[in-house]
C-alpha cells in the first residue's frame, strides 16, 4: 500500500513539475493598457504580449503589431487567437525568436486608415501617438529591421495598407484573409443598401462622378499596385536609395469569401513584378484558420527578424 502511495505521489509530483515547467514558458499578456489619444479624442485600449523572462532581462526585443478584424477589439488575438500559447510554444521550441507583440484597438469603423470625414484618424493616431508611446514604454528595438505588422480580415487589409504606405517602418507584413475590398462603380439607377452606403460614405466619402466613393482608390491596395510602374527591388548596398517594400505574405483559406479579392490582388502584384509569398490553405474565414495562420506568421516574421 505504501509503495502504491509513493508511486502515486511521485506521479503527481512529476505531473506538477511538467505542468509548472510548461506554464513558466508562457509569456505575460496584459489587455488593460491604455493610451489617451488627443487625435481620436478618446482612450485607446491595447493588449501586449511580453516573452517569458522579459521582467528579469535588460535586453530589447523586436516587435510585431498584430491587428484584429472588424467588430473585434484588442482582446481578440488574446482570447480567440490564443496568442500567448502559440507564441510561447514557438519561442520555447526555438522556431521563432523572442519578441514583443502589440495588439491595438482598431475600432469597428476605423479600418486602420484616416476616414473621409476625419472623424476617425486612426492612421495619424498610430504613427503620431501610439507607436512612439508604446516603443518608449517597452524595451523595443526601434528600427525597421525589427518591426513587423500582421492582421486578419480588416486587420489583414490594415497590415497591407500600413506596410505599403509606411514601408520605411516595417520589414515584414503578413496578411491573413485580407479584406482587400473591391467596389464597382455605381451606374445610374443602381441602388446600394443602407448599410453599404453608410459604411462606404463614412470610410471613403460620397460617390464621385465615376460612381466610386471619393477616396476609395486612394486606399485600395489593388489600385496602389495598378498605378505603379514595374517594381524593382532597391539595391541594399546602394547608399541613399529608396527603401523597398517589406516582405509580404498573403494567406487566405480556400473556402474564404475574400479569396477572390485576394487572388485578384495576386494577379496585379505579379503583373508589376512585386515580390510576395502566397499561401492558400484549407479553411474559411474562421478563428481556427487564423490560429494556424498565426503559427505560420510568427515563423515567417521571426525568420525575417533573425536575418
| Residue 292: other Cβ atoms inside 10 A | 17
Contacts of 85 (CB under 8 A, 6+ apart): 26
The domains found in the chain, sorted by start residue, are 25-182+232-306 (3.40.50.1820)
Q: What is the pLDDT of residue 18?
A: 40
Q: What is the pLDDT of residue 4?
A: 45
C-alpha separations of 16 from 12, 13, 21, 165, 270 in Å:
6, 5, 8, 50, 53
Q: What is the pLDDT of residue 15?
A: 43
Of 194, 174, 305, the C-alpha closest to 247 is 174
Q: CA-CA distance, 268 to 253, in Å (whole number)?
A: 19
The backbone torsions φ and ψ at residue 247, rounded to the nearest 5 degrees and listed phi first, read: -65, 125
**Nine-digit cell at 73?**
477589439
**Nine-digit cell at 167?**
514601408
Of 275, 285, 274, 225, the C-alpha closest to 251 is 285
DSSP states of the chain as a string? Answer: -HHHHHHHHHHHHHHHHHHHHHHHTS-EEEEEEEEEETTTTEEEEEEEEE-TTGGG----B-EEEEE--TT--TTHHHHTS-HHHHHHHHHHTTSS---EEEEE--TTT-TTSB-TTSS-BHHHHIIIIIHHHHHHHTTB--SGGGEEEEEETHHHHHHHHHHHHTTTT-SEEEEES------PPPPTT----HHHHHHHHHHH-SB-TTSSBTTHHHH-HHHHHHHS-------TTSTTPPPPPPEEEEEEETT-TTHHHHHHHHHHHHHTT---EEEEES--SSHHHHHHHHHHHHHHHHHHHH-
Give me the average pLDDT of each 10-residue run along the chain (307 residues). Answer: 47 42 73 97 97 96 98 97 97 97 92 93 98 98 98 98 98 98 80 76 88 90 95 75 91 98 98 97 98 98 96
The backbone torsions φ and ψ at residue 278, rounded to the nearest 5 degrees and listed phi first, read: -125, 130
Amino acid at each position: 500500500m505504501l509503495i502504491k502511495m509513493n508511486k502515486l505521489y511521485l506521479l503527481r509530483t512529476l505531473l506538477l513539475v511538467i505542468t509548472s515547467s510548461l506554464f513558466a514558458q508562457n509569456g505575460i499578456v496584459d489587455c488593460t493598457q491604455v493610451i489617451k489619444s488627443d487625435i481620436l479624442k478618446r482612450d485607446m485600449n491595447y493588449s501586449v504580449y511580453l516573452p517569458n523572462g522579459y521582467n528579469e532581462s535588460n535586453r530589447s526585443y523586436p516587435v510585431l503589431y498584430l491587428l484584429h478584424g472588424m467588430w473585434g477589439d484588442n482582446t481578440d488575438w488574446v482570447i480567440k487567437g490564443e496568442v500567448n500559447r502559440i507564441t510561447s510554444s514557438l519561442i520555447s521550441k526555438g522556431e521563432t525568436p523572442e519578441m514583443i507583440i502589440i495588439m491595438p484597438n482598431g475600432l469597428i469603423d476605423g479600418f486602420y486608415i484616416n476616414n473621409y470625414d476625419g472623424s476617425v484618424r486612426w492612421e495619424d493616431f498610430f504613427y503620431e501617438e501610439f507607436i512612439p508611446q508604446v516603443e518608449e514604454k517597452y524595451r523595443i528595438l526601434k528600427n525597421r529591421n525589427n518591426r513587423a505588422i500582421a492582421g486578419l480580415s480588416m486587420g489583414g487589409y490594415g497590415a497591407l495598407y500600413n506596410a505599403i504606405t509606411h514601408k520605411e517602418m516595417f520589414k515584414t507584413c503578413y496578411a491573413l484573409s485580407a479584406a482587400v475590398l473591391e467596389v464597382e462603380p455605381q451606374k445610374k439607377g443602381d441602388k446600394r443598401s443602407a448599410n453599404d452606403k453608410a459604411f462606404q460614405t463614412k470610410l471613403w466619402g460620397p460617390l464621385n462622378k465615376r460612381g466610386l466613393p471619393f477616396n476609395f482608390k486612394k486606399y485600395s491596395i489593388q489600385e496602389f499596385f495598378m498605378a505603379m510602374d514595374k517594381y524593382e527591388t532597391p539595391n541594399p548596398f546602394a547608399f541613399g536609395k529608396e527603401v523597398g517594400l517589406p516582405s509580404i505574405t498573403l494567406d487566405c483559406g480556400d473556402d474564404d469569401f475574400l479569396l477572390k479579392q485576394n487572388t485578384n490582388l495576386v494577379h496585379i502584384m505579379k503583373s508589376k513584378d512585386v515580390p510576395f509569398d502566397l499561401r492558400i490553405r484549407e479553411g474559411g474565414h474562421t478563428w481556427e484558420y487564423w490560429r494556424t495562420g498565426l503559427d505560420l506568421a510568427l515563423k515567417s516574421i521571426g525568420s525575417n527578424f533573425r536575418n
